[in-house]
Amino acid sequence: MADFRKLFLALAVMALLALPVSAINPPVVNCVASSSPVIIRDGGLTELVGDVTLTCDNTAVGAVDVQTDIQIFMNYAPVTNKVLNNTGSGGECPTGIKCVTDSVTAATWNGLAPAALGVNGNPTYITGLLQSRLDLPGDPANQRNSVLFPRVPVPAGTITFLRISNIRIAAPSVSASGSTDVFEKITTNNVVVTPNYQLPVATVQIPLQFKATSCDGTGGATTSFQQCNAVNPNTGGMSSTFNVQFIEGFALAFKPRINATTGTIIVGNKFLSESGYLLGTLVSPGGSSVPAVGEATTGTNLLLRFTNIPNGVSIYVTQSNTFYGTSQLAGTGGPAITASNSTAASGTMTCKAPDTSLPSIKVGITGGAGSVAWVVQSIDATFNYQKTVSFGVAVSYSPNTTLDLPGLTTTGGVNGALGPLSTIDYAVPTSVDGIPRFRDKPYAATIFSILPCSTDILFPYVTAKAGFDTGIALVNTSKDDPVIGTQTQHGSCTMYYFDGTTTAPAPQNTCDIKAGGMVTFSMMTQGGIPSQTCADSSTITNTAVPIGWQGYAIAACKFQYGRGYAFISDRNTPSLGSQGYLPLILSTCGRLPAPFDGDVNFGTQCGEMLAH
């Protein structure tokens, strides 16, 4: 019996040795990895990186069916794909953790390369599961930088093509003149990937330049306005005050939601929309239904914001892009862009032909701030150039200086950004977070100002020399009711002194001069306008004009209808008499930056107004 057992054991060993080696250890499946890097946007929170492809050879003698778990790791870039509002089926996700995403691996093994996927192939789709960072195991809900595609089939006797697509990330920030590269690293089991180092999938660049121009785009914007001069009081038909331009930092920085060619895009080509590789509804490996795979929520938003807009001012913009300043128009192959927060125009806006009577909408202003967004609806067929998209802006108000309307400001802001804006990146990945979304990164703010109207008063001879004194009165004559009924105004005056030297006395300021009020002062006894505490408890500190000074002065008053009087007296020899005079009211063309009494012809009338 013992001899039989020995013989059986020997025969078994011989039979085992006679089997092909491949039947014991199947041949290694080798996969060659490649990537198709794309340019993505600084500030983008859901940027599509380029596709990665694996070509896996499982045709060796003795090959067996293989399943591999493919895990993609991003370098310092959180994964921000949509995540289902459930924890998956069949134990896909850790308990209580949402992880089923809209990223996808498409596998085909019927001889069709990845370029054919989505056209006439017959791929198997595996949706990705969001993973925690390995260095933060105690924080599984956040800081996710990895996607796992489980149980990807590589059948025996085939060359299997795997396309890894629709992975979205929060782009790393770059400097204004810089860029940075994004890489993926691949890990697998049951197959060997070559190369196994990090593959480039994206380069981050600045996506937007922004500027304000004249309405025809040829010069600088007019963004300073006078309080007392009406601007576009008839909102039914306005003139463009200035234009704003959104300029792509690189081609395809502005994208529509869905482009007709997106669903059949091949590996290596650019996605022509905010949507990725469109696949509709899929079923994940664990049985979860994954809707709208690859789809975005909206096209790129071009966001214009206004801040510190004073009371009494309304802002209007063109509902769609203008001819001037736009590189190509909708209807001629260019971007079709319309405002997202308005369903109907409230008036028209005109620059000059062909930008005449363009539909306009009113920007809602609350607390001095308001915004409008235009959504990119389509792109032209020739997309490999940097587009410029321009919109008209109109400022509108009717002055009521008696009520200080419009209010004054020198810090109004106009800036552009890409939107929709969000603070949600990887921390709260859910299906309701929009795609795309962007960090708040405004570009090239332009100052918007409402300035007071003014009067500039020239006192051609002012002296405190050789015993002579000059008394001066500054009068606000805007209060004349019931005789005329002028809208009243108020403001301070600043006296500027000139004597042909570089050491003339420093300017002096008055407190606020109310309508019908006046300020008087003496050059010799008071040294000009004295330091004082004003009615609003503010303090004015002035340096006295020294005795012995002589020259001329200009009073710049921040209200219309300012007038003055000067009285020169001989304090040493009163018998020599005294002399009074009315100062001249200046036109400011070529002098100080404010129109004479709000003159509508300001800019066409130069020289002095020889008026008292």
Most confident of 83-97, 143-157, 431-445, 519-533: 519-533
Distance of CA 296 to the CA centre of its chain: 20
User: CATH number of the domain that 564 lies in?
Assistant: 2.60.290
Answer whether residue 194 is part of any domain: yes
User: What's the whole-number average pLDDT of the chain?
Assistant: 83
Backbone φ and ψ for 373, nearest 5 degrees, come out as -125, 135
Question: Does the residue 273 lie in any domain?
Answer: no
* Lowest-confidence pick of 154-158, 385-389, 598-602: 598-602
Residue 8 has pLDDT above 50, yes or no: no
pLDDT at 86: 73
Are residues 253 and 400 both part of a single domain? yes
CB atoms within 10 A of CB 234: 11
Any domain includes 282:
no
Whether 571 shows a pLDDT value over 50: the answer reads: yes
Higher pLDDT, 260 or 187: 187
Last residue of a domain, one of 409, 428, 451: 451
Boundary of a domain, candidates 451, 477, 498: 451
Both 142 and 159 in a single domain? yes
30-35 and 192-194 beta bridge pairing: parallel
What is the pLDDT at residue 10? 45
Higher-confidence residue of 543 and 331: namely: 543
Comparing 128-137, 156-165, 531-540, 578-587, the range with the smallest average pLDDT is 128-137
- Is residue 89 one of the residues assigned to a domain? yes
pLDDT for res 262:
43
Domain tally, the chain: 3
Q: How far is CA 345 from the centre of its chain?
A: 24
Last residue of a domain, one of 432, 451, 470: 451
The HSE-up count of residue 301 (CA atoms within 13 Å, CB side) is 26
Tell me the three state secondary structure of residue 263. Answer: helix
pLDDT at 176 over 90: no
On whether both 558 and 426 belong to a single domain, the answer is no
List residues bridging with 98 in a β-sheet: none
Contact between 77 and 170 under an 8 Å Cβ cutoff? The reply is: yes
Q: Whole-prediction pTM value?
A: 0.82
Q: Report the range of poorest mean pLDDT among 118-122, 151-155, 387-391.
A: 118-122
| Residue 274 contacts residue 436 (beta carbons within 8 Å) | yes
**Residue 119 pLDDT > 70:** no
In this structure, is residue 406 part of a structural domain?
yes
Three-state secondary structure readout of 94-140: CCCCCCEEEEEEEEECCCCCHHHCCCCCCCEEEEEEEECCCCCCCCC
> Sorting pLDDT into bands at 50, 70 and 90, what band is 384?
confident
| Contact by Cβ (8 Å): 446, 417 | no
**Cα(605)–Cα(466) distance, rounded to whole angstroms?**
39
What is the span of the domain harbouring residue 395? 208-257+296-451
- Report the pLDDT averaged over residues 350-370: 91
Let me know whether 402 and 301 are in one domain.
yes
Beta strands in 37-78 (DSSP E): 38-41, 47-48, 52-58, 66-74
Share of the chain above pLDDT 70, in %: 81
Rounded to an integer, what distance in angstroms lies between the CA atom of residue 579 and that of residue 401?
Answer: 36
Give the Cα separation of 277 and 555 in Å (integer).
Answer: 69
The verdict on 196 and 47 lying in the same domain is: yes
Burial of 195 (0-12, 13-18, 19+ CB in 10 A): exposed
Tell me if residue 5 falls in helix, strand or coil. helix
User: Based on the domain organization, do 438 and 525 belong to the same domain?
Assistant: no
CATH number at residue 118: 2.60.40
If asked whether residues 435 and 513 sit together in one domain, one would say: no
What pLDDT is attached to residue 484? 84
Is residue 7 a part of any domain in this protein?
no
Q: What confidence tens digit (pLDDT) does each residue in 27-77 have?
A: 999 999 999 899 999 999 999 999 999 999 999 999 999 999 999 998 878
Which residues are registered as beta bridge partners of 479? none
- Report yes or no: 127 and 292 within 8 Å, Cβ to Cβ: no
Q: How confident is the model at residue 15 (pLDDT cuts 50, 70, 90)?
A: very low
- Residue 180 maps to a domain: yes
User: pLDDT tens for residues 420-462?
Assistant: 998 876 555 555 578 999 999 998 777 889 988 899 999 999 9
Long-range contacts, stretch 264-270, CB < 8 angstroms, 24+ apart: 264/118, 264/119, 265/118, 266/114, 266/115, 266/116, 266/119, 267/36, 267/51, 267/53, 267/114, 267/115, 267/117, 267/163, 268/36, 268/51, 268/115, 269/36, 270/38, 270/383
Query: By CB neighbour count within 10 A (0-12 exposed, 13-18 middle, 19+ buried), where does 476 fall?
Result: buried
Q: Is the confidence at residue 267, as pLDDT, over 50?
A: yes
- Give the residue-averaged pLDDT of 97-124: 69
What was the pLDDT predicted at 296? 92
Over 70: is that where the pLDDT of 177 sits? yes
More confident residue, 377 or 250: 250
Q: Tell me: do 248 and 355 sit in the same domain.
A: yes
- Residues forming a β-bridge with 52: 35, 164
- pLDDT, greater one: 326 or 264: 326
Q: Each residue of 291-343: pLDDT tens digit?
A: 888 889 999 999 999 999 999 999 999 988 888 888 765 555 555 677 665 55
The pLDDT score that the predictor gives to residue 140 is 44
Q: Say whether both 359 and 375 belong to one domain.
A: yes
Please give the residue that has the higher pLDDT: either 604 or 19.
19
Task: Please tell me whether residues 563 and 517 are part of one structural domain.
Answer: yes
pLDDT tens across 189-202, in order? Answer: 999 999 877 899 99
What is the reported pLDDT for 499? 95
Rg (CA), the chain: 37
369 in the same domain as 333:
yes
One domain, residues 436 and 470: no
Q: Is residue 602 part of a domain?
A: no
